Amino acid sequence: MTLTQQKSFAPHDTGTLYLVPTPIGNLEDMTVRAVHTLQQVDLIAAEDTRNTQKLLNHFEITTKQISFHEHNTQARIPELLAKLVAGQSIAQVSDAGMPSISDPGKELVRAAIDAGLPVVPLPGANAATTALIASGLPPQPFMFYGFLPRKASEQRAALAALSTQPQTVIFYESPYRLAKTLTTIADVFGDREAVLARELTKKFEEFNRGTLLELADWAADNARGEFVVMVAPAPEQAPTVSDTPLRDQVLAQIAAGAKPNPAIKAVAKANGVPRQVVYNAYHELEAPDDL
């Protein structure tokens, strides 16, 4: 791969592709820069032009739109690239939140980068990170998964791959599938702590906190609106305590080719004991009083 560098705000002969987030419910979350960008570009590539027109009307933006959604992505990309190469600037928007985040956009971004065109992201509304910061779950590390596959076998396989991850996992889910999906997550992950963020930034915003199965019960009767599902990290694996004396475990690792110090460290970790204890056992020393 050859290193390439984009200087976003250096003068260009080409146009720029701007990625513009839009509100996820509350129109006041439209940034001043987002409004200016939508006013100044030559064209807005929108997931649903009728939906975006309401936003444009609200902010008195008169820029022309072109549809760009999951069903016309491949056909539209060459057309949009040609306009960018010819010097026109384009803003890509989805119906709500960040383009490309469980929404159309990523193929256009890749194609623009491959064509050497500048791609400029604007910060702004996004359901996942908005939910995460008020969840009370560890905010990092976190894993944003988005929508799980709908097919049961694929969904379980995806969950199995996530089930031991020591990080908060964030899903998007529709209200119609929420209760069932929470039950399946509990089945694969164990009944962990989780948070449902509902209708973020809107009048009926709420956070429901409980275990996955408690939330599944709640969702069976109450799942209306939009939801972000956040699940607590996998609990740390309890070290497997071996009956073999610590010294013998170190000797076994050394016999298998390890050097003494790494062997001591590994045995300490595996048994959940301080390294000094294993060191002493290996060297057949008395344990110091303060251990």
- For residue 154, what are its two tokens? 């694929």
Stretch that binds ligand SAM, among 95-103, 184-192, 247-255, 269-277 (CB under 6 A): 95-103
- Report the residue number, 18 or 279, with the smaller CB distance to ligand SAM: 18
Q: Is 194 in the site for ligand SAM (CB under 6 A)?
A: no
CA angle, residues 44, 48, 49, in degrees to nearest 5: 50
CB of 252 to ligand SAM, least distance (A): 50
Q: Which of 37, 34, 30, 199 is nearest to 125 (CA)?
A: 30
Instruction: By CB under 6 A, tell whether 34 contacts ligand SAM.
Output: no
State yes or no: residue 137 binds ligand SAM (CB under 6 A): no
Contact between 96 and ligand SAM (CB under 6 A)? Answer: yes
102 is an interface residue for ligand SAM by CB under 6 A = yes
Select from 191, 199, 214, 217 the one that contacts ligand SAM (CB under 6 A). Answer: 199
Of 106, 69, 123, 92, nearest in space to 16 by CA: 92
Question: Measured from the CB of residue 17, what is the shortest distance to ligand SAM in angstroms?
Answer: 17
Q: Residue 57: exposed, middle, or buried by beta-carbon count in 10 A (0-12, 13-18, 19+)?
A: exposed
- Rounded to a whole number of angstroms, the minimum distance from the CB of residue 229 to ligand SAM is 8
Q: Characterize the bridge pairing of strands 65-67 and 43-46.
A: parallel
- Of 246, 194, 204, 209, nearest to 224 by C-alpha is 204
Q: Secondary structure of the chain: what % helix, strand, coil (to 5)? A: 40, 15, 45
Options 49-57, 99-107, 207-215, 269-277: segment touching ligand SAM (CB under 6 A): 99-107
Q: Residue 122 interacts with ligand SAM (CB under 6 A)?
A: no
Residue 270's nearest CA partner among 238, 243, 224 is: 238
Instruction: Count the site residues for ligand SAM by CB under 6 A.
Output: 23
Q: Which of 35, 66, 101, 213 binds ligand SAM (CB under 6 A)?
A: 101
